[in-house]
């Protein structure tokens, strides 16, 4: 292929990538590394991109694109050889490379795309299939494109998750029932030749996480002069004369096709294994969902029960508040409050009087106790005197003074009288305490 691009058709295969990656572009910041004159930026903006930055290594194309009338959300800038485009790392959510061959060093461009892409973003990198004999659209030829495996190695060196796609032509008619609301499409390729179905473009969907898009999509292009200018129909193999070495080239091509078929079968087996694992996880999720639904039903029943209990409690509370309000305005309630207050005041007054009486009685008891102690001391002295008199043989003698005997008898009588008074005071004290306790109980009951 030559280094200078040929004339460009008015439509480019890259617009198909805008439709295919529409899910990634809604509300996203998008960067395009490629031809600034392509309609890809406008198409991405139409499909929901928030802003689009286009970087092209040809200043002439950048100036031409900037001179055209375009949306203010589209920015055109040159792509320097150093790769420093003046943005911080992780600025963009999606990166498009519509044709990897437009730069002399594809590896450096992919490294730049990986650097400016956010950790959750994705890159869509396309490269023409150099072995496609009759592409649907003739596009400019920049440089010799990498093959399928070369493209995969270039992209996988910078991204942990790479999905390889093929963009192949599809020409046909649509037969649809006019009255159908939402028909199910049917794809029939039985009329097409088995030969010449190789992909025109190899596309890599690259990311640092497992980004997935549709595994199979048919995207219709606008039919008109713009498409007819660039379309090229497959050439019949019978119209060409066999060239020297064609048999060997065909053998090599068959080997490549076989290798690609084996790789596709291996990928299919891996996909089947993933489907089985997904089904197993789906079954587990279904069981967990059933258990969660049962638990949710039990929780709902419990919530209903608690709601009913709460309503009953609120009803009882309302009735109690109404009853309290009714009693508050009841004259009997006011009279009862006044009676309780009167009883409390009387109880306090009687309690004070009883406390004073108890204090007086206790003081009197202490005085009587002191007198009793004095009398007991006198009795003890007289008793000692009597014992001494008995021991001295004076008791019973006629010469013992009569006043001594009378004093002893009088002292004994006084002692007995005071003991009786002390017992009476003790009984009065016990009765007063009992009365105080009874008044306290009455006051508590009145409350």
Q: What's the pLDDT at 245?
A: 47
Per-residue CA distances from 148 to 76, 105, 151, 184 (Å): 30, 17, 5, 33
* Of 208 and 416, more confident: 208
C-alpha span between 447 and 442 (Å, rounded): 9
Contacts of 304 (CB under 8 A, 6+ apart): none
- Per-residue model confidence as pLDDT tens digits over 221-261: 776 544 555 455 444 333 344 444 444 444 545 555 666 66
Instruction: Give the pLDDT band (50/70/90) at residue 375.
Output: confident
Q: Are 41 and 54 in contact (CB under 8 A)?
A: yes
Query: What 3-state DSSP class applies to 241?
Result: coil
CA atoms within 13 A on the CB side of 343: 16
Flag whether pLDDT at 4 surpasses 90. Answer: no
- CA of residue 444 relative to chain centroid, distance: 57
Q: SS3 for 125?
A: strand
Mean pLDDT, range 81-90, rounded to an integer? 87
Of 275 and 442, the one with more pLDDT: 275
Q: What is the mean pLDDT of the chain?
A: 79
List strands edge to edge, sheet with 74-78. 74-78, 51-56, 29-33, 92-97, 117-128, 201-207, 161-167
CA proximity to 138, closest of 32, 1, 249: 1
Distances (CA, A) of 206 to 113, 157, 187, 403: 10, 11, 28, 138
Per the model's pLDDT, the better-predicted residue between 152 and 216 turns out to be: 152
Spatial contact of 207 and 163, defined as CB atoms under 8 Å apart:
no
Average pLDDT rounded to a whole number, residues 327-348: 79
List CB contacts of 11: < 8 A, sequence separation 6 or more: 39, 137, 221, 222, 226, 227, 230
Q: 32 pairs with which residues across the strands?
A: 54, 96
DSSP states of 293-358 as a string?
HHHHHHHHHHHHHHHHHHHHHHHHHHHHHHHHHHHHT-HHHHHHHHHHHHHHHHHHHHHHHHHHHH
Q: Report whether pLDDT(30) > 90.
A: yes
Helix, strand, coil fractions of the chain, as percent rounded to 5: 55, 10, 35
Mean pLDDT of all residues in 16-27: 90
Give the contacts of 417 (CB within 8 A, at least 6 positions apart). Answer: none
Q: Return the residue matching tokens 């292929």.
A: 1
Residue range 169-176: mean pLDDT, rounded? 81
Q: Are 8 and 140 in contact (CB under 8 A)?
A: yes
SS (H, E, C) 23-91: HHHCCCEEEEECCCCCCHHHHHHHCCCCEEEEEECCHHHHHHHHHCCCCCCEEEEECCCCCCCCCCCCC
For residue 92, report the phi and psi dihedrals to the nearest 5 degrees: -105, 150
pLDDT at 77: 92
Using alpha carbons, list the distances in angstroms from residue 167 to 14, 108, 162, 432: 10, 24, 16, 113
pLDDT over threshold 50, residue 69: yes
Give percent of the chain above pLDDT 90.
22
- 3-class SS at 374? helix
Predicted pLDDT at 446: 64
Query: Measured between alpha carbons, how far is 135 from 327 in angstroms, rounded to an integer?
Result: 98
> CA-CA distance, 399 to 126, in Å (whole number)?
156
Taking the C-alpha atoms of residue 114 and residue 219, their distance in angstroms, rounded to an integer, is: 28
Which residue reads 């049962």 in tokens? 294
- 262 by Cβ neighbours in 10 Å (0-12 / 13-18 / 19+) ranks as exposed
Cα 33 from Cα 92, distance rounded (Å)? 12
More confident residue, 231 or 371: 371
> Nearest to residue 207, comparing CAs of 145, 126, 124, 141?
124
pLDDT, tens only, 148-169: 999 999 999 999 999 999 888 8
pLDDT digits (tens, 9 = 90+) for 7-16: 444 678 888 8
Q: Is the pTM of this model over 0.75?
A: no
| pLDDT, tens digit, 9 for 90 and up, residues 404-441 | 566 666 767 777 777 777 778 778 778 877 877 787 78
Longest dimension (CA), the chain: 186
Does 188 have pLDDT greater than 80? no
User: Cβ–Cβ contacts within 10 Å for residue 321, how many?
Assistant: 10
Half-sphere exposure at residue 114, Cβ-oriented, CA atoms within 13 angstroms: 19
Output the CA angle 351-356-362, nearest 5 degrees.
Answer: 120
């Amino acid at each position: 292929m030559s280094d200078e691009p040929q004339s460009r058709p008015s439509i480019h295969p890259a617009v198909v990538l805008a439709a295919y990656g529409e899910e990634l572009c809604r509300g996203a910041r998008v960067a395009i590394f490629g031809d600034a004159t392509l309609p890809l930026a406008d198409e991405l903006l139409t499909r929901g991109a928030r802003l689009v930055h286009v970087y092209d290594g040809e200043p002439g194309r950048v100036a031409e694109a900037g001179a055209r009338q375009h949306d203010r959300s589209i920015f055109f800038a040159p792509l320097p050889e150093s790769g420093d485009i003046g943005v911080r790392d992780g600025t963009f959510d999606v990166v498009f490379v519509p044709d990897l061959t437009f730069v002399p060093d594809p590896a450096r461009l992919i490294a730049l795309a990986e650097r400016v892409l956010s950790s959750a973003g994705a890159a869509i990198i396309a490269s023409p299939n150099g072995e496609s004999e009759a592409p649907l659209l003739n596009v400019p030829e920049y440089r010799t494109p990498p093959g399928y495996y070369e493209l995969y190695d270039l992209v996988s060196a910078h991204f942990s998750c790479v999905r390889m796609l093929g963009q192949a032509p599809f020409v046909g008619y649509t037969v649809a029932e006019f009255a159908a609301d939402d028909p199910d499409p049917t794809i029939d390729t039985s009329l097409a030749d088995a030969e010449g179905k190789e992909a025109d473009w190899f596309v890599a969907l690259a990311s640092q996480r497992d980004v997935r898009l549709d595994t199979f999509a048919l995207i219709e292009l606008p039919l008109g002069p713009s498409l007819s200018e660039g379309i090229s129909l497959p050439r019949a193999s019978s119209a060409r004369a066999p060239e020297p070495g064609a048999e060997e080239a065909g053998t090599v091509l068959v080997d490549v096709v076989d290798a690609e078929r084996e790789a596709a079968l291996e990928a299919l087996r891996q996909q089947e294994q993933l489907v089985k694992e997904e089904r197993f996880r789906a079954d587990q999720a279904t069981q967990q969902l059933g258990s969660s639904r049962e638990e949710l039903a039990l929780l709902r029943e419990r919530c209903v029960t608690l709601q009913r209990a709460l309503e009953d409690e609120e009803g009882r509370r309302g009735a109690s508040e109404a009853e309290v309000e009714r009693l508050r305005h009841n004259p009997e309630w006011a009279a009862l409050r006044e009676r309780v207050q009167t009883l409390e005041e009387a109880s306090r007054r009687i309690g004070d009087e009883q406390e004073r009486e108890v204090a007086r009685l206790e003081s009197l008891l202490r005085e009587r106790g002191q007198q009793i102690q004095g009398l007991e001391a006198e009795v003890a002295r007289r008793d000692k005197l009597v014992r001494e008199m008995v021991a001295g043989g004076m008791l019973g003698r006629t010469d013992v003074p009569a006043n001594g005997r009378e004093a002893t008898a009088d002292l004994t009588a006084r002692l007995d009288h005071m003991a009786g008074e002390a017992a009476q005071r003790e009984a009065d004290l016990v009765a007063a305490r009992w009365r105080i306790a009874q008044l306290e109980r009455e006051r508590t009951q009145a409350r």
